Amino acid sequence: MNEVTRGGERRAPVGKGDSMLPLMLFFPLSLFYCELVVRLSTYGKPEPMQLFYIFLLSMAGGFLLSGILSLIKNRTAVRVTAVTLSFLLGVIFSSQIVYFSIFGNYYNWGDIGMAGEAISSFSATFFRGLRDSLLYLLLVFLPSVLLAVFNGRMTRYPMRRLSYLVPMTLFAACALFFTVPSFLLAADRDFGGFLYYYNYPTDRETYLDFGVLTASRLNIEKLLFGEKEGGLYIDPVETVDNSIFGEVSGEETRPGPTESSSGEETTGSEGSETEAPPKPVEYGDNVLDIDFASLIENAPNKTIKSMHEYFSARTPTKKNEYTGFFEGKNLIFLTLEGFSAQVIDPVRTPTLYKMAHEGFVFNNYYCSCWGGSTSTGEYANLTGNFYNSTKAMTQYGAKNYEPFTLGNQFKKLGYATYAFHGHTYTYYNRDESHPNFGYTYYGVGNGLEKMTDSEGNTMKVMWPNSDLEVAKVSIGQYIDKTPFHVYYMSISGHTEYNFIGNNMAKRHRNDVTDIEGSTAVKAYYACQLEVELMVKELVDQLDAAGILEDTVFVMAPDHYPYGLKTALAEFYGVEEEGVYGNFELYHTALIIWSASMKEPVVVDTPCSAIDILPTVSNLFALDYDSRLMMGTDIFSDQDPLVILNCDQTGPSWNWINRFGVYNSAKGFTLSPGYTVDKKELDTYIKNMNNTVKQMRSFAYKIVTEDYYSYVFGKK
């Protein structure tokens, strides 16, 4: 016989068949299940300790939700709330799967506003990500469907009793409190605990180590309340001893710039008088007059104090024979969307080929995938630092004090400084970040689409827009305003790579008919031909104006062409298994060229995107402090270091220097010309990894703390 409640609802009396177990276990187990689905669909099988932490945190969160549900007295309300909550959690998990399918990393909650804009701007890309993730999306929503179908059985027990809340809440608390001390006991801080306790802003690792649920909570916490003080990797790092590497006799092992010359090498000959070697030139350091002692003494908190101590102790780079090599010239800097050196050849891209082989020839340039796609790649190119999400541009780039960006540096010298982008001008908040970087900025929506070329034509707005047309309509803004510095963020090479929805690929389809390969590969080659036409247009107009030799071109990608997806291995000619961990994806082109150069300068030094700003600053003799950015002047005598973050399913946080290549999945590969003791090498690798951790930690804090404003008295 049914019992009637005060509200008139009939409720079955408590009996032997009633159990709180089904719904009590549903949320803990379904959360853990969804975490596994997300992980397997993105980065693959978790490590044992990651699996352990994700399980415990899923239990904690799930039992807490079950405990809250037990407070609801109305059975219908319990059922509706349970299904709705399960569905919303499914949306969160599934959104990470789709985002990863498109961009190769997890999103941050601070970037939610970008998601809607991305879907509307790149709808084809979004629906492709949805299609590619369909199986995993069905798996994620399976618990919600089962709960909705078997809702009656799952919610039979009387939910009103407070006593049911107690064991579930205690279980959640025990799981959580058991986990947190485990984090804190991570002695070498090489895993989780350090990240979790200090709310360390390496969001990608937080997702990997703790799962979507906990990472989302920490991410939202940072968004609402800001960063917790601390979180810097400041453990003592032993000095990295490069002397352990012996040189093989007779081999040149020091990579660096070597000028190509048609003249004969001058050597002493028999009977000739040998001249004394010239006295070495003493170059000064690339530093500014900064009173770090005073800054340390008056630091507002321990985080800023630690940063002052770290940066003051860094070894500055010295000025060198290339300091001022381009001083006083104009500069055109292009970040190329999804560009790869693979497309450069003498027939299809003669202008790019000429620049890549007749200027500074960088044989070992790498473009890391920092974790935020175009935004983070562009940020690295422009600032000499790196960050792991789009917040680098969308939030911090718009408000942080940025004295070293080329726009601000050249603007201070009286240059006309402009930036152009052939897409929506507000995308990634460039309408705020680029003016902050020192540029008068134009995109589609704030004037670029209204500019006209020499024949009075405006650019045609389509997807993607034409880089050639951007060049034609924009060059009139600055060509008669020398000296000038202009920055372009290209757009024509953007994914999708097909001949249906990509207008630039369709435009050049007939130019790639002789290329063997899949449709995606052909479409990629086709749309990147717009870059060649854009650069040729700029060169031709500068030449016609008589200022080509007074202008320098700098070009680098924002990231590898991740939009090729399954065609990546085909495009690069590498094995499909482990393709994202293959460093050839990131080995690409950096072009620095001027028609004034009489012969090429070949550079074998390993280098990357964060090295562009200090290198160009030195070439133009700009005032900057080499201690305050993570990049290094490529032409300096400082040992190079490339930090290479491989996203997707590849190993992450690797590094390259002149002694070899460290791949976290494969170990260390020694460069030709060196020998090393195995035991000493193990210590060296550990110390180098610690050095990289420190650089990551302080690079992020440059962004989140607006560090330069403290150094230069803006706060």
Query: Tell me, what's the pLDDT at 658?
Result: 93
Contact indicator for 496, 502 with CB cutoff of 8 Å: yes
| Residue showing tokens 């919600």 | 144
Interatomic CA distance for residues 270 and 268, integer angstroms: 7
Residue 338 in any domain: the answer is yes
Task: Tell me the one-letter amino acid at 227.
Answer: E
How many C-beta atoms lie closer than 10 Å to residue 391's C-beta? 25
Q: Which residues pair with 3 in a beta bridge?
A: 11
Query: Tell me, what's the pLDDT at 334?
Result: 98
**Residue 128 scores a pLDDT above 80:** no
SS3 call for 691: helix
The two structure tokens encoding residue 152: 């009656």
Interatomic CA distance for residues 131 and 124, integer angstroms: 10
**Residue 438 scores a pLDDT above 60:** yes
| Mean pLDDT of all residues belonging to the chain | 84
**According to the per-residue pLDDT averaged within each range, which of 125-139, 535-549, 653-667 is highest?**
535-549
Cis ω for the linkage preceding 464 (within 30 of 0): yes
**188: pLDDT confidence band, cut at 50, 70 and 90?**
very low
H/E segment holding residue 362:
strand 360-362
Q: Which residues pair with 608 in a beta bridge?
A: 366
Cα 644–407–118 angle (5° rounding)?
60
The two structure tokens encoding residue 491: 């757009």
**545: pLDDT confidence band, cut at 50, 70 and 90?**
very high
How many C-beta atoms lie closer than 10 Å to residue 350's C-beta? 13
**Residue 701 scores a pLDDT above 60:** yes
Contact indicator for 32, 54 with CB cutoff of 8 Å: yes
Residue 37 in any domain: the answer is yes
**According to the per-residue pLDDT averaged within each range, which of 35-44, 121-130, 145-154 is highest?**
35-44
**Residue 15 scores a pLDDT above 50:** no
Q: Which CATH number fits the domain that encloses residue 445?
A: 3.40.720.10
- Per-residue pLDDT tens digits for 463-483: 999 999 999 999 999 999 999
Interatomic CA distance for residues 305 and 457, integer angstroms: 55
**22: pLDDT confidence band, cut at 50, 70 and 90?**
confident
Range name among 122-131, 165-174, 278-287, 574-583 with the lowest pLDDT average: 165-174
- Per-residue pLDDT tens digits for 642-676: 999 886 666 678 999 999 999 988 899 999 999 99
**According to the per-residue pLDDT averaged within each range, which of 4-8, 45-49, 104-108 is highest?**
45-49
Interatomic CA distance for residues 383 and 163, integer angstroms: 57
**According to the per-residue pLDDT averaged within each range, which of 42-56, 100-114, 175-189, 424-438 is highest?**
424-438
Interatomic CA distance for residues 304 and 90, integer angstroms: 40
Q: Which of 587, 574, 697, 575 is nearest to 646 (CA)?
A: 587
Interatomic CA distance for residues 266 and 269, integer angstroms: 9
Total number of domains constituting the chain: 2
- Per-residue pLDDT tens digits for 356-375: 999 999 999 999 988 767 88
- Per-residue pLDDT tens digits for 485-505: 999 999 999 988 999 989 999
Instruction: Enumerate residues 6+ apart whose C-beta is below 8 A from 97.
Output: 37, 38, 41, 42, 133, 136, 137, 140
Contact indicator for 402, 419 with CB cutoff of 8 Å: no
Task: Tell me the one-letter amino acid at 344.
Answer: I
> Could you tell me which residue, 391 or 138, shows the higher pLDDT?
138
Sequence length of the chain is: 715
Q: Which of 419, 377, 379, 373 is nearest to 395 (CA)?
A: 379
The conformation of residue 301, written as its DSSP 8-state character, comes to: S
The two structure tokens encoding residue 175: 């799981």
Interatomic CA distance for residues 150 and 469, integer angstroms: 59
- Per-residue pLDDT tens digits for 56-95: 888 888 888 887 777 777 778 878 888 999 999 999 999 8
Query: Tell me, what's the pLDDT at 195?
Result: 45
Query: Tell me, what's the pLDDT at 524?
Result: 98
- Per-residue pLDDT tens digits for 589-627: 999 999 999 999 999 999 999 999 999 999 999 999 999
Contact indicator for 501, 528 with CB cutoff of 8 Å: no
Residue 212 in any domain: the answer is no
Interatomic CA distance for residues 351 and 364, integer angstroms: 21
Residue 556 in any domain: the answer is yes
Query: Tell me, what's the pLDDT at 342?
Result: 96
Range name among 359-373, 508-522, 524-538, 604-618 with the lowest pLDDT average: 359-373
Mean pLDDT calculated for residue range 333-340: 97
SS3 call for 642: strand
> Could you tell me which residue, 172 or 511, shows the higher pLDDT?
511
> Which of 136, 161, 188 is at the close of a domain?
188
Query: Tell me, what's the pLDDT at 269?
Result: 38
Residue 243 in any domain: the answer is no
Query: Tell me, what's the pLDDT at 117?
Result: 59
Q: Radius of gyration of the chain from Cα atoms? A: 29
The two structure tokens encoding residue 379: 């940020």
Query: Tell me, what's the pLDDT at 267?
Result: 39
Share of the chain above pLDDT 90, in %: 57
Q: What is the phi/psi pair of residue 416, to 5°?
A: -80, 125
| Residue showing tokens 């999804």 | 338
State the DSSP string of 446-484. Answer: TTGGG---TTSPPPPP-SSPPHHHHHHHHGGGTTTS-SE
User: Are 528 and 382 found together in one domain?
Assistant: yes
The two structure tokens encoding residue 233: 């990797």
Residue 603 in any domain: the answer is yes
Query: Tell me, what's the pLDDT at 230?
Result: 56
> Could you tell me which residue, 477 or 163, shows the higher pLDDT?
477
**Residue 274 scores a pLDDT above 70:** no
Query: Tell me, what's the pLDDT at 199?
Result: 42
Residue 20 in any domain: the answer is yes
**573: pLDDT confidence band, cut at 50, 70 and 90?**
very high
**Residue 333 scores a pLDDT above 80:** yes
Q: Which domain, by its residues, includes 374?
A: 321-622+635-674
Residue 278 in any domain: the answer is no
> Which of 188, 218, 233 is at the close of a domain?
188
Share of the chain above pLDDT 70, in %: 80
**306: pLDDT confidence band, cut at 50, 70 and 90?**
very high
Q: What is the phi/psi pair of residue 554, to 5°?
A: -125, 130
- Per-residue pLDDT tens digits for 230-270: 556 666 555 688 888 988 755 544 455 655 543 333 333 34
CA distances 40 to 27, 46, 47, Å, are: 20, 8, 11
